[in-house]
Amino acid sequence: MTDHDPDLQAARGWFESLRDRICAAFEAIERETGSDAAFDYIDWDRVDPSGEPGGGGVRGVMKGRVFEKVGVNVSTVAGTFEPGFATSIHGADADPRFAATGISLVAHMANPHVPAVHMNTRFLTTTKRWFGGGADLNPPLPVARDTDEFHAVLKAACDRHDPGYYPRFREWADTYFYIPHRGVHRGVGGIFYDHLEGDFEADFAFTRDVGEAFLDVYPRIVRRRMDAAFTEADIAVQRAWRGRYAEFNLVHDRGTLFGLKTGGNVDAILMSLPPVATWD
């Protein structure tokens, strides 16, 4: 279902190339501090519930001096959704067969003044075909300059395609990245979009621009903050905030549920969890 789908293969190729460029950029930042940290890549294979091969992916994780823990995963999977889960997926209620490819990134930073970040873009096919994803900034100690720049770069990427995208997708992110049982947002927002299924080439171009925007802005913010002095009190704030992040990903995140329900690699799915967190 994947090898004979040129659209899915084109998206897969882009996600893999974006991964390589992001990982190289992050490793370059580590080198600037004298660290030799590098990504460790682990291939994984998926078996569909039918017993047939179901694709797989590559899990990449780096633990360094600047990036306490960063994961960058690319996966391409196909098969059949379980009946109960199929009804929750766009276009799968009538036919549970699916294919999906995407990149998922989460970075937790050593210095609490450097914001953590999440970025994910994906292409799914059922009886429908659509792109989704976005990026959001998650600073334990927010700085207006960083927040404003992150949003400005994402807005510029959106505006190149549709002036209505940014306000719509920013609001969607604010709604999605919210922790109801805490009554707080996970971070300072960004953009989130799903079921973008108009014209493949146009939607693919937008998704590529989201990836380029992330690669443009986030390393710049990291370099700006990675040498800032911090205190034990700052670390305490960071670890408590990480607890909220973990709660969202385990309780509310649809990507986590999708990975677990489709038999994905558990370590790759849960790479989003922070290395150290606290709950009072």
Residue 123's pLDDT band (boundaries 50, 70, 90)? very high
- Position with higher pLDDT, 89 vs 173: 173
Out of 88-92, 119-123, 259-263, the most confident range is 119-123
Residues 81, 66: Cα–Cα separation, whole Å: 39
Please state the domain extents for the chain: 6-272
- Enumerate residues 6+ apart whose C-beta is below 8 A from 35: 64, 65, 66
Residue 3: the pLDDT is 66
- What's the rounded mean pLDDT across residues 87-110? 92
Percentage of residues in the chain having pLDDT higher than 90: 82
pLDDT at 259: 80
Q: Evaluate whether 73 touches 57 at the Cβ level (below 8 Å).
A: yes
Instruction: Say which CATH topology domain 6-272 has.
Output: oxygen-dependent coproporphyrinogen oxidase (3.40.1500)
Q: pLDDT at position 2, please?
A: 62
Indicate whether 228 pLDDT > 80. Answer: yes
What is the rounded CA–CA span in Å between residue 157 and residue 161? Answer: 7
Question: Minimum mean pLDDT among 3-17, 68-82, 83-97, 264-278: which range?
Answer: 83-97
Q: What is the pTM assigned to this prediction?
A: 0.94
pLDDT at 261 over 80: no
For residues 106-120, average pLDDT: 98
Pairwise CA distance, residues 149 & 89, whole Å: 34
Return the active site residues.
118
SS3 209: helix
- Joined tokens for residue 71: 């994961």
For residue 1, pLDDT over 70 is answered with no
Q: What are phi and psi of 241, to 5 degrees?
A: -65, -40
pLDDT tens per residue across span 202-223: 999 999 999 999 999 999 999 9
What pLDDT does 257 receive? 80
CA distance 79 to 90: 15
Least confident window among 51-60, 132-141, 254-263, 270-279:
254-263
Following CA atoms 173, 175, 180, 185 in sequence, which dihedral angle do they give, to the nearest 10 degrees? 50
pLDDT, tens digit, 9 for 90 and up, residues 134-166: 999 999 999 999 999 999 999 999 999 999 999
Sign of the Cα torsion 169, 171, 174, 180 reads negative
State which amino acid sits at residue 32: E
Calculate mean pLDDT across residues 1-29: 93
